[in-house]
Amino acid sequence: MPTESRHVPALNASAARKIKVLIIDDSALMRTLLTEIINGQPDLTAVGAVADPIMARQMIRLLNPDVLTLDVEMPRMDGLEFLGRLMTLRPMPVLMVSSLTARGAESTLRAIELGAVDYVTKPKLNIERGVRQSGQEIVDKIRIAAKAKLPTTTLSTTPRLAAVGNYRASAEKLIIIGASTGGIEAVKTLLMKLPPDSPGVLIAQHMPAGFTSGFANRLGSLCRIKVKEAVDGEQVLPGHAYIAPGGRHLAIDKCGTNYITRILDTHPVNRHRPSVEVLFKSAAKHAGPNVLGVMLTGMGKDGASAMLEMKFAGAYNVAQDEASCVVFGMPREAIAMGAINVVLPLVEIAGHLLARITESGVHHARVKARV
């Protein structure tokens, strides 16, 4: 009796290939935990785990990993020094593993400037439980890092950007920005091009508590506008940028003729707090046609539907283009929803916004004069 012949489809080699991760951390516990978390995923494999960058250099040559996880404070060579050398000699995706402290936040921001794709934080207490609870975030960010476009410049080679000329300020306008992965550098690039009398800027960047104060201080030292971590109930002023505090939502409200900030401790939205969705929804409700919305680099779809609400309310919306994004997810979702008026390279966004404000101001003056 003939046996039944069954066709078995060939396994797709690219689908079967796992993302190779090399762990660099001086803590044996962290190396063990990260290895278990990574190896528990069908598409990831921890190909090695070493205690310091000196050991890592040989492992990188031998194992050719796709992504590194890198601690900051380590013996023989700290993570920042190693990262700077790596990005000069052999650029590759790096996910920083940082302490949830002021010093850790400062080091992490410097690591992003040097070229790290993203970061995860170590808990202060009960490290094992905290790391395991963050397991999904860790593996998600490894996957993002493996596909992310690496930056082509660092802070040391980025010139101070000139402000855009021929600009007329408009106190009633607001610039509302949403960003996630890659957004730390993207926000910096945009804000550095704004003049001191630019409209007030509100920013929802996905960051944990403890990190946004240092981020604001760093931006304030580089930009012509004043940059601060937002607090509840303050008036939004021209020439100022307000960053959503890590772990809390930022929204805007109206008080008479003024816009004011609202800081909310409500539940995460789209798994994020701060969430771009919360800020954009409030902008649609309270500022409508006075809003210039900007969606920068980031993974996921946070803020896309609210950006469409802003457009329906009369806002003018800009998305960062794919070529200049580290991760194109959030801009792509907003574009797909029809929420975007124009898609631009990152370096052109600030100038376009200011030109748009000047154009609308001139138009308004002409209409008023005819009346």
Catalytic status, residue 206: yes
Residue 253 annotated as catalytic: no
- Is residue 240 within 8 A of residue 232, CB to CB? The reply is no
Strands in the chain per DSSP E? 19-24, 44-50, 67-71, 94-99, 118-122, 174-179, 200-205, 226-229, 240-243, 249-255, 258-264, 291-295, 316-320, 342-344
User: Which of 282, 302, 321, 324 is flagged as catalytic?
Assistant: 302
Please give the structure tokens belonging to residue 279: 């800020």
Q: Helices 304-312 & 329-336, crossing angle to 10 degrees? A: 40
Question: Taking Cα atoms as reference points, which of 23, 21, 34, 45 lies closest to residue 135?
Answer: 34
Q: Among 88, 89, 140, which Cα is nearest to 114's?
A: 88
Catalytic residue among 98, 99, 170, 180: 180
Cα separation of 24 and 111, whole Å?
Answer: 15
Q: Which of 66, 206, 240, 286 is catalytic?
A: 206
Cα gap 27→51, rounded to integer Å: 7
Tokens of 255: 């008080």
To the nearest 10°, report the CA torsion of 265, 267, 270, 274: 10
* Cα of 233 vs its chain's centroid, Å: 25
180 classed as catalytic: yes
Q: Which residues are catalytic?
A: 180, 206, 302
